[in-house]
Chains A and B, each alone.
Chain A
Amino acid sequence: MAVRDAPTTSALVVDRIEVVLGGRPIISNVSFLLGRGEFAGVIGANGAGKTTLLRTILGLERASQGTVQIHDATGSAGRPRVGYVPQKVLLDPSLPLRARDLVALGLDGHRLGLPLPSPARDRLVAEMLEAVDAQDFADERVGTLSGGQQQRILIAHALIRRPVLLVMDEPLASLDVHSAASVAALLAHLAKTQDVAILLSAHDMNPLVGVMDRIVYLANGHAAEGSVEEVLRGDVLSELYGHHVDVIRVHDRIVVVVAPGDPSATDHATLLSGGRETD
């Protein structure tokens, strides 16, 4: 599908990209748009190409075909700011660093010189801590916080520079069910209130189903994208997998079952039963 005529309000325009790594196409013909204020999940099993897609958007991999464009509000030239939270950041408990110090480093950690006292910076840090609802543990050592609390601090660390796009690689992977739901809801809220496009990858879509505006569902290197209703349908996913697929809703959870015979079926069974494996 062509997205040439993308409205300029889109923060991210991914247009028919193909990425080849080690001579093997990892993803091909993937296209989608993401506007400011929108929250999207890149969903797929391990090895479906989620990390490759994110790295290509960040400019860490080159697309052999297609383009990735990131626009700031004015659509003007210059590199728009992109925030990124890498996979599996778990900080050491012995680091002499309060949560608020890590948020401040998101603002000026690349600058030379000692950090002189600055009320303006303190105010920005306090605002971000409030935005991610982290005031209660802002003065704790960041490494002693729980996984969910650390994710909140990392989100504040990434958002404090007001990026147009925030990319997060599997931020929910090591969280328990409640923390995952709570971080997902926070991200959906932040996309609106901070006017930022947020794109995250996840192998378990369930914490995200109720809160994401768009879903980019990856399987076999191809993507189906759209709203959750548009994508999570038997006919759409069957076409994507090239096999018969049932989308089952049970106890508020969505389970995608790939028909036996697909060599990658076992992968998807673990994916959608909410398995907690990480890649």
Chain B
Amino acid sequence: MNRLLRILVEPGFFTNGSVHTALVVGAGAALVSGVVGVFTVMRGQSFAGHALSDVSSAGGSLSFLLRMNPLLGFLGMAALASGGMELAGVRYARGRDLATGVVLGAGLGLAALFLYLDSTFTTTTGAAITVMFGSMFAIPASTAILASLVGLVALVAVAVLYRPLLLTSVHWELAAVRGVRVGLIALLYMLVLSLAVSLSAITVGAILSTALLIGPAGTALGVARRPGSAVLLACGIALGATWLGILLAYDSGAWTPQHPWPVSFFVVALLLLSYLAIGRSPRRVPRPANGEM
């Protein structure tokens, strides 16, 4: 048993402080992304989710320049962009894509500037890699508390908004008829989405946070029949991929000594595998022939 454990888990995994921080922050990011991602996919807003996380990279790179907690940087920029995208008030899918694309371009332009300044005026090395692709083992322990707090706020917000959010995600007009303030719900949802993407940006990086947001939710929607089970399944997949990814990355230090592989690679690879294994073909009930009720 002990030998098997040693093969699966390299020594030091359970006592290493960086690993602990990675597990805690990763869990927060996974749970929030799993929950929020289900609504993102239902609402057809995957592109908005991706754009938000890309734009948040401007905040992340700015935080290195200002020597503040990167999570606050990611979060501030994502919240700003989400508010901007929603308050632009575009109601039609194509216009919304356009507004999202414009904000996305502007955000990445800022990120390019800040990352250049990072490398010129600070001694930070590898800021670009950390911001864009994440460095889970380099997350400072102090971030764990902040990340848990952000995650808690996001989960409580979704729990409070659950039913109106679900109904607007199913069909906004049905929700409006039912007396739901559709515009307000959409704005609040975008703010919660910015919490989710900033948490995953600090975990797997701004570019890859889309994978954590969309992958588990897409897999869950392929098999779940009920919103609650879709949310739980997405959380399980996200958490499983994140923790297993952390373990594999830690182990990989033994495969290529001194050069552990990036955690984000393993997380995203596991998410892709789970999607291919269970989520790819939505269970479709054949429609009855014409005339049958």
Contacts and interface: CB of A to CB of B under 8 A. Distances in A.
24 contacts: A84-B177, A86-B177, A89-B174, A91-B170, A94-B41, A96-B226, A101-B227, A105-B167, A109-B166, A109-B167, A109-B180, A110-B167, A112-B160, A112-B161, A114-B159, A114-B163, A144-B287, A145-B287, A146-B287, A146-B288, A176-B290, A178-B291, A178-B292, A179-B290
Interface in A130-187: 133, 139-141, 144-146, 148-149, 152, 154, 157-158, 176-179, 182
B185 to A, nearest CB: 10
Contact of B164 (A84, A93, A112, A176): A112
B162 A179 contact: no
Contacts, number: 113
A113 interface: yes
Nearest to B289: A146
A39 B225 CA distance: 35
Interface string A50-82: 000000000000000000000000000000000
Contact of A144 (B161, B227, B284, B292): B284
Contacts of A111: 163-164
A110 B287 contact: no
Interface string A173-216: 00011110010000000000000000000000000000000000
Contacts of B162: 112-115
Nearest to B290: A176
A110 B180 contact: yes
Nearest to A100: B226
Contacts of A145: 285, 287
Interface string A93-121: 11111100110011011111111000000
A74 to B, nearest CB: 22
Interface residues of B, number: 39
A96 B171 contact: no
Counting from the closest, the 5 A-B pairs by CB-CB distance are A109-B167, A96-B230, A178-B291, A96-B224, A144-B285
Nearest to A107: B178
A101 B163 CA distance: 11
Given A97-B226, A97-B227, A109 B175 contact: yes
Given A110-B180, A149-B293, A96 B163 contact: no
Nearest to B287: A146
A178 B292 CA distance: 8
A28 to B, nearest CB: 27
A257 B110 CA distance: 66
Interface of A: 83-84, 86, 89, 91-98, 101-102, 105-106, 108-115, 133, 139-141, 144-146, 148-149, 152, 154, 157-158, 176-179, 182
B221 A94 contact: yes
Nearest to A106: B178
A96 B175 contact: no
B25 to A, nearest CB: 26
Contact of B226 (A89, A98, A157): A98
B221 A98 contact: no
Interface in B223-260: 224-227, 229-230
B164 A110 contact: yes
B160 to A, nearest CB: 5
A176 B291 contact: yes
A98 B166 CA distance: 13
A131 B152 CA distance: 42
Nearest to B42: A95
A98 B226 CA distance: 6
A61 B180 CA distance: 19
Most buried by A among B179, B224, B225: B225
B271 interface: no
Given A95-B42, A140-B285, A112 B229 contact: no
Interface in B126-176: 159-164, 166-167, 170-171, 173-175
A101 B226 contact: yes
A112 B180 CA distance: 10
Given A176-B290, A176-B291, A95 B163 contact: no
Given A148-B293, A149-B288, A179-B291, 11 more contacts: A83-B177, A93-B284, A96-B226, A96-B229, A97-B225, A105-B174, A109-B174, A109-B175, A113-B163, A141-B283, A158-B177
Contact of B163 (A105, A148, A149): A105
Given A96-B38, A96-B229, A110 B221 contact: no
